[in-house]
Chains A and B, each alone.
Chain A
Amino acid sequence: MNLLTVSGSPHIHGDNSIKKIMYGVVFAMIPAILVSIYFFGLDAVKVLLISVIACMFFEWAIQKYLIKGPLTINDGSAMVTGILLAFNVPGNLPVWIIIIGAFVSIGIAKMSFGGLGKNPFNPALVGRVFLLISFPVQMTSWPKPNPLFAGKVLDAITGPTPLGNLKGELRGGRTVQDILEHGTKMIVDGKEVLYKIPDYVQELLGNMGGSLGEISAVALIIGAIYMLCRRIITWQIPVAYLGSVIVFTGILWLIDPNIYINPLFHLVTGGLMLGVFFMATDMVSTPMSPKGQLIFGLGCGVITVIIRVWGAYPEGVSFAILIMNAFAPLINKGFKPKRFGETLKI
């Protein structure tokens, strides 16, 4: 017989593990991955693969050669970051830029702090915002969605995102009504084309310009339901986030529908769904108590709308989540879970 083992209680452990959580998230992203491949074809595959491989490589290399700690490369978190980074960039992004993004995500935003669990900011978003600011040109020229089975060969036509187009046109002094009805004249490769913001059904399904993973609200919601059922995420952040966006944009829309577009548009366009379900829910960089999570979601929603409506950027989701990430420690400090026996109740 071997030597007996002594340890503190408890002596049994539940079957939950980091790996199960992370691969659960990967699994939940499969619908969105499929949609992105459907609309962007091989480009999507390329960006996804490079991003995932680069993220995992940097994590491995830094752990092995710089930190010299245990290797945790197969726990799946680098893969999640990789996929989410790819989800947040246009499908035609040059390879070297993706690699820089992966390096920033993993090297600067995650491993500098000690790896999984220690980063105060969402790594994929840090990578994305870093790229957005560094390479605004490349990061804002979106390939037009081109369904795989539509019979056309893929060409390098780029188009705007509905949000970007709307914002640009509004700044140019047009009204919402006008933009939606008449579309925008654009010069693409010297030719004049008319761009029209797609209708809501198309937007829901993902047939619009945008980052790889953000386009299809339906696919993202399917993944989110899966994660909710598996209890990988909780409902607080998504509900508070979506709710505050709807309420805030709703109020603006009621004030003047000519300047402010309706809440539905805000919901289905841009990276809102991706952010709400996959990025604002990253447990590492968000508050822990249910109350704190509600506050977090609320803050994200408000900042998102402020940036979308008044800021320089057409899209505010990434910034909003990052800014609220910074608030997370304070929220954790301020909103504690309710303790048993805290209040006398007889």
Chain B
Amino acid sequence: MNDVVIYAVISLSAIGIAAAVILFFIAKKFKVIEDPKIDIVEEVLPSANCGGCGFPGCRNFAEALVNKSNKDKNIEGLNCPVGGNKVMSKVAEILGLEAEEKEPMVAVLCCSGSKANAPKKVNYDGPATCVFVNNLYAGENGCPYGCLGLGDCVVACKFDAMYMDKETGLPVIIEEKCVACGACVEACPRNIIELRNVGKKSKRIFVSCINEEKGGVARKNCKVACIGCGKCFKVCKFDAITMKNNLAYIDYEKCKLCRKCVEECPTGAIHELNFPPKKPKPEKVMEKQKTETVSTEAKVVDNKPEKDLNTGG
């Protein structure tokens, strides 16, 4: 062992220890506490940073979760739609709490104003986004409530769960991919998209229209509009349907999926999803049902027998 090695050992150890000692005392003196749970919770979250929870990012959400659980001993009202119950129960576990069970939801499109049902009446010339058109006028098909078909919702969906169907001009929600983050609901300037429960075997029944005009006016723009005739309201035994402003609405928490209203509706505004076809009558065969695209089957609707529609005002 020569001098160099000895010097080396001494000086380096001195530097090392000096650093350690100084750091130790400084750390002690200037301590700032941050809850270590935040990191742990953050790791569990899906880090999609989608904002579905209402916070700018997963980290902020984690902070909110930890803070709320420290303060209120629960995390009610906070939910990560992407991770769903699985993640939330994990978070609850970390925080030593029970998470509330949220019924799984999915987005549905409450408009059937496809190109066939609600033909174009004017041209629009300008940037192709729904917000613009909504601010400017009623839209190419003239329905002041209907889908504008320019796909703001599709752009908003971070999970590739939506696409525009070129043929119908309406957006399509891919149920398997939808995580019910609500981004599309937020994005749609006309509030056409609604988050509803997934239901048993994904079966759902809903009014695919939000037009509050009187029936005649509504029908002028769109063949399959809800005309507010109230027939479904009368036929429903479970009080699931309410009528307001010429429009029927089906409450998914009350609906028992009996399908009476579907048959009753004269315009075909009520949609059923994921039910097995009733009787294989030739016209009623679903002509275009891809496994992943379930939406407004324009064709099916068209095949319904035309009824006299002078019911409205």
Contact = CB atoms under 8 A, between A and B. Distances in A.
Do A and B touch each other in the complex, judged by CB within 8 A? Answer: yes
A8 B126 contact: yes
A201 interface: no
Nearest to A9: B136
Nearest to B124: A6
Nearest to A5: B123
B275 interface: no
Contacts of A6: 122-125, 136-137
Contacts of A3: 120-123
Interface string A153-177: 0000000000000000000000000
Interface residues of A, number: 7
Interface in B113-172: 120-126, 132, 136-137
Nearest to B138: A6
Interface in A114-158: none
B93 to A, nearest CB: 48
Contacts of B122: 3-6
B136 A8 contact: yes
Interface residues of B, number: 10
A7 interface: yes
Interface string A229-242: 00000000000000
B10 to A, nearest CB: 49
Interface in A1-18: 2-8
Nearest to B136: A8
Nearest to A11: B125
Contacts of B123: 2-6
A4 B122 CA distance: 5
Contacts of B137: 6
A7 B121 contact: no
Contacts of B125: 5-7
Contacts of B120: 3
B119 to A, nearest CB: 10
Interface in B178-206: none
A182 to B, nearest CB: 63
Nearest to B132: A8
Interface string A174-204: 0000000000000000000000000000000
A5 B132 CA distance: 15
Contacts of B126: 7-8
A3 B120 CA distance: 9
B146 to A, nearest CB: 15
Nearest to B120: A3
Nearest to B135: A8
A5 B124 CA distance: 6
A160 to B, nearest CB: 55
A93 B177 CA distance: 59
A3 B124 CA distance: 10
A133 B132 CA distance: 49
Contacts of A8: 126, 132, 136
B268 to A, nearest CB: 26
A4 B121 CA distance: 8
A35 to B, nearest CB: 46
A2 B126 CA distance: 18
A112 B132 CA distance: 30
Contacts of A4: 122-123
A64 to B, nearest CB: 23
Contacts of B124: 5-7
Interface of A: 2-8
Given A3-B120, A4-B123, A6-B136, 5 more contacts: A2-B123, A4-B122, A6-B123, A6-B124, A7-B126
Closest 3 pairs (CB-CB, A-B): A7-B125, A5-B123, A7-B126
